[in-house]
Amino acid sequence: MLHDGTQAVVVDPGDAAPVLQALKAQGLQLAGILVTHHHPDHVGGIAALRPHLRGPVWGPARERIPAPFTPLADGDTVAVLGQAFEVLDVPGHTAGHIAYLQQQGGTAPLLFCGDTLFSAGCGRLFEGTPAQMHRSLSRLAALPSGTRVCCTHEYTLSNLKFAAAVEPGNLQRAQYQAQCEERRAQGLPTLPSSIGLERQINPFLRCETPEVMAAARAQGAVGEDAVSVLAALREWKNRF
């Protein structure tokens, strides 16, 4: 949820109940809904939220989002709560997945990336290809280091266990894992992450690192190019 003290926008409301609870607790009016892709755990709450909605639902033009909604494509801009978000096409997890990048100067921008990029991981390739996911992740990895990564699931600890198997010698990953374990033990989220941190600890953004490449080869990577490495890592993660 993003709010200005009066109005709020929510991203990927899979369940309406916690959204309604938060709106009521903070005295906020729901001004819009941003959707990254069509999966039920990202759109399941939209119908129940519509009676409370005082604005549009935005979503990817190339996916079936509960209608009515405003379709968006790469390069479009969405104005919410006086702020502008650029739409980025990031297919891989689904065929038409999009992300929203806050466009503002002076502070670390927000990235709502759905299930494309997780902290220390990436989404499963349900509809897209390894090449698409690699292009999407490379695009996100090229964003400014301070960009705050607001992904949709708290998968960080399980992703870090996999990252440790891929790249056991990564000291930054080990330090981050200890920090995340402490946060979760206190009932706190590990998110948001940052693009700069993910470049250091996320194996799916490190497909050209020698240790990651060697791990992928050991898991049957068909080549040493980044797409082949990512494909082998994703298949390994699926059964990890």
Q: Which residues are catalytic?
A: 37, 39, 41-42, 93, 115, 153
Q: How far apart are CA 139 and CA 47, in angstroms?
A: 32
Sequence-separated (6 or more) residues with CB below 8 Å from residue 203: 120, 162, 163, 166, 167, 212, 215, 233
Sheet holding 29-34, edge to edge: 2-3, 7-11, 29-34, 57-60, 70-72
Give the Å distances, CA to CA, from 4 to 27, 37, 148.
11, 25, 18
Amino acid at 166: V
Residue with tokens 């399980």: 158
DSSP label of 6: S
CA–CA separation, 193 vs 198, rounded Å? 7
Residue with tokens 């080549």: 223
Return the structure tokens found at 76.
């479009």
| Cβ 74 vs Cβ 89: under 8 Å | yes
